[in-house]
Chain A
Amino acid sequence: MLVSTIDALEKFTIVEAASGFEALRLLPREQVDLIITDINMPDINGLELISYVRNNPNYQLIPLFIVSTESGDKDLEKGLALGANEYLVKPFNPQKLQELICKYLG
């Protein structure tokens, strides 16, 4: 939700999912090159999403960033252990996000 307002990279199309379920629905439909997800979501949590993505042959290789608050420390570690590539702690520097995006998507 928040990411789309600061992302000045016009090269990319941003598809927002308002919840974990929407993300699950969007994945087969859109050609997704990068996933950025929160840990706390109303239906499935971010870790479960990562688990789903990494265990699915179709999406295994998509770069994945997790966004979290500092107090979610243990969850962050689990996310990385499950296969997330990078993490960002809120409030995060938009510059940092831009750098990471460039790093993974060229």
Chain B
Amino acid sequence: MSVEENLGKAVKDFLAEAEEILDQLSLDLVALSDCADGGECSPDLVNSVFRAAHSLKGLAGMFGFSEIAELGHHLENLLDALRLGRTALDQAVVSALFEATELLSVLVRNAGESGGEPVDTSGVVQRINDCLAREPKGSQASPLSRLKLPERVLNSMTEYEEHRLLENVKRGRRIYSIRVSLLLATFDSELMELTEQLKQVGEVISTLPSASGGLEAGIDFEILFGSELSASELTPLVEREHLSIVRFGEETELPAPLEDEFHAPLPIEGSVTAKSMSRTVRVDIGKLDILMNIVGELVLSHSMISEVAARMRRDGFLAPAQELVKAAKGLEKKLSELQKGVMEIRMIPVGQLFEKMSRIIRKISREQGKQVELKLYGADTELDKLIIEDISDPVMHIVRNAIDHGIETPERRRALGKDEKGTITLSSFQKGNHVVIQVDDDGSGIDVARVKQKARELGMLGAGEEVGDREALEFIFLPGFSTTDVVSEISGRGVGMDVVRTNIAALSGMIDLENRPGQGTRVTITLPITLAIIKALIISAAGRTYALPITSVLESLLVEKGEIRTVERKEVITLRETTLPLLRLSEFFQLSGAGEPPESFYVVVVGIAEKRLGLVVDDLLGQQDIVIKSIGETFAGFRGISGAADLGDQRTILVLDVGSVIGEATRGGA
């Protein structure tokens, strides 16, 4: 690769790593804000957050992203002051940290795409400096001298570690030096085991390695440890070979069994390895798309081969046809496995999305003075990464609505006899070939009267017209609808539920609202597990061919003309004691050439979530694997079509978006 190409790739890697760092940082900040309220924060957490900012700043500086580096530098300053005990952790500090992290995310995103709004960081920098300028807490008296720590330990302690030592001493903990001899081959896992045990009962302040007495395959560690336990309580917990414990501050050396073996020669075992401990690979999603495309083409090739085999059999070449069919079946099986394998790589748990929401919920509820508790269910339900990315904004909007309009203020809730803390529940589960994401709140629900009033104001509902409560909810999805006149920063900026629905429809999904006046709202989003290659039912209607994703097809029936009844000007039939509305595709798409309605015809029953619809079609042409391709921007707003597919015999057909067809039909659009 040329130097330039190298650099381009390196920048992409940096942006990917920066995003990862910021994601983890946000998660940790949430934990930090929790313990800010509670009192004591785990020093590991503060340290980890500090290191993240430090890495990000370094990386950004290296690649010339000066804005990111500079803001990262300020963030790092504040975090450093925190971990060294120079600044106390309070809500002002937490806010500043959150703000800085969010701005950094925006900057990183902007760096990845060209353009993006310029970001003003002066405000948050000011707030950070304010936090830093506040009086440092406590006195700097050093009780360390009493401890008489050996020089070699003191010399290799960083300022941070000294601070931690001081903290431990202030808290009245005993300070121990734990020396252990380990093998080079296994020291990291053994040391980790030991420190994990120690962390249960105290704080590991520092770890000093030194060469083992003479032998190359060994390494010694001196661990500085603070704990409230007495020596006799501590010893049995960490007892192992080649380990001795000394307490600082008293000169008594504790009897440890096998202490005389401390300097015994260690057997040489195993080999030293430099292999990385990580077992994951970071993959650019563009590469996965390419892979999926290739698999799609393979699927088409397979279809063609099957076609040829069928033709050969028709033409009398029975023996070779047989072999070809057998080979094609084997190929189909392997392709199916390959397809599954590639799809699994793209799947990530919904939990990632939930964590993002968690941060936003805390921020907004704090800003609005509302108390919100978040419950999560089904965080390990998996979804295609691209779907999760595209669903992130809509879900965020829904969550914001829930806090903004749904959950009441603590006072109001108390007055209503509700718990002061509102609850938002995010849950996700798999339902057949779909994944459902639900947002529940126990707030005030949607004020249907107000919705109707607004609808009348906007001219969506006639003065004399009445509409049921369930139908009224539909107005919320119309463009331009919003029951607050103030475009607040929270739910405003022109993003309405109509955009949310369009985004979800673009993913072949559906959104549903359930309203419990006074008790809350539930928003249900149903999504296909993945797009790309799907099995479809091929049908013809009014002389044209369409594909129906199998996941939405429930059954197909042969219906007599006489079975059709008319209810409220719509055609229906009775299916196993329930009424099934019918839709003639020819009418839906306003196609001509429907011809005389035959005596009996096929009805394909489709459904998503609880909704059902019977599609009247001319003929059922079989099942096939198809690859859905987008039909482009021009036709993006087309109701009822989610894409186009290649049938393998050079025919291109349209794929029905069952969700929107059902939606339109039940609204009385047809």
Report A's interface with B, CB cutoff 8 A: 2, 5-6, 15, 18, 21-22, 24-26, 28-30, 39-40, 42-52, 55-58, 69, 71-72, 74-75, 78, 81-82, 90-91
Contact = CB atoms under 8 A, between A and B. Distances in A.
A44 B209 CA distance: 8
Contacts of B61: 90-91
Given A22-B274, A24-B187, A28-B272, A51 B10 contact: no
B209 A52 contact: yes
Contacts of B365: none
A81 B160 CA distance: 18
Interface stretch (B149-157, B287-295, B631-639): B149-157
Given A21-B187, A28-B272, A74-B159, A45 B211 contact: no
A57 B210 CA distance: 11
Given A18-B276, A24-B219, A72-B158, A40 B51 contact: yes
Interface string B554-572: 0000000000000000000
Nearest to A21: B188
A25 B161 CA distance: 23
B33 interface: no
Given A26-B274, A40-B54, A72-B158, A48 B208 contact: yes
B155 A78 contact: yes
Interface in B149-204: 152, 155-161, 184, 187-188, 191
Contact of B156 (A30, A82, A91): A82
B206 interface: yes
B80 to A, nearest CB: 5
Contacts of A47: 155-158
B664 interface: no
Nearest to B209: A52
Contacts of A55: 210-211
A5 B209 contact: no
Given A2-B62, A5-B10, A42-B51, A48 B207 contact: yes
A25 to B, nearest CB: 6
Interface centre among A29, A82, A90 (most CB of B within 10 A): A90
A41 B209 CA distance: 14
A97 B208 CA distance: 28
A81 to B, nearest CB: 7
A86 to B, nearest CB: 18
Contacts of B77: 71
Given A2-B59, A51-B208, A69 B54 contact: yes
Given A22-B274, A45-B206, A52-B209, A58 B158 contact: no
A97 to B, nearest CB: 11
B210 to A, nearest CB: 6
Main SS class of interface, A: helix
Contacts of B50: 40
B29 interface: no
B62 A48 contact: no
B216 interface: yes
B440 interface: no
B269 to A, nearest CB: 14
Contact of B211 (A15, A56, A91): A56
Contacts of B161: 45
Nearest to A75: B158
27 contacts: A2-B58, A5-B62, A15-B274, A21-B187, A22-B276, A24-B219, A25-B274, A26-B274, A40-B54, A42-B48, A44-B207, A45-B156, A45-B161, A45-B206, A47-B157, A48-B208, A50-B156, A51-B209, A51-B210, A52-B209, A52-B210, A56-B210, A57-B211, A72-B158, A78-B156, A81-B155, A90-B58
B211 A48 contact: no
Contacts of B58: 2, 90-91
Contacts of A30: 274
B69 A91 contact: yes
A90 B100 CA distance: 20
Contacts of A28: 184, 216, 272
Interface string B207-226: 11111000010010000000
Contacts of B160: 40, 45
B156 A51 contact: yes
A75 B48 CA distance: 18
Given A47-B158, A51-B156, A6 B188 contact: no
A71 B191 CA distance: 30
A25 B188 contact: yes
Contacts of B219: 24
Contacts of A43: 188, 207
Contacts of A51: 152, 155-156, 208-210
B114 interface: no
A32 B460 CA distance: 76
Interface string B43-85: 0000010110010011101100000010000001100100000
B273 interface: yes
A70 B656 CA distance: 61
A52 B211 contact: yes
A47 B187 CA distance: 19
B272 A71 contact: no
Nearest to B51: A40
A50 B272 CA distance: 21
Contacts of B59: 2
Interface string B105-128: 000000000000000000000000
A51 B155 CA distance: 9
A6 B64 CA distance: 12
A57 B215 CA distance: 11
Contacts of B191: 21
Which 8 A-B pairs rank lowest in CB-CB distance, beginning with the nearest? Answer: A91-B61, A56-B211, A47-B156, A51-B156, A52-B209, A21-B188, A75-B158, A48-B156
A25 B272 contact: yes
B216 A58 contact: yes
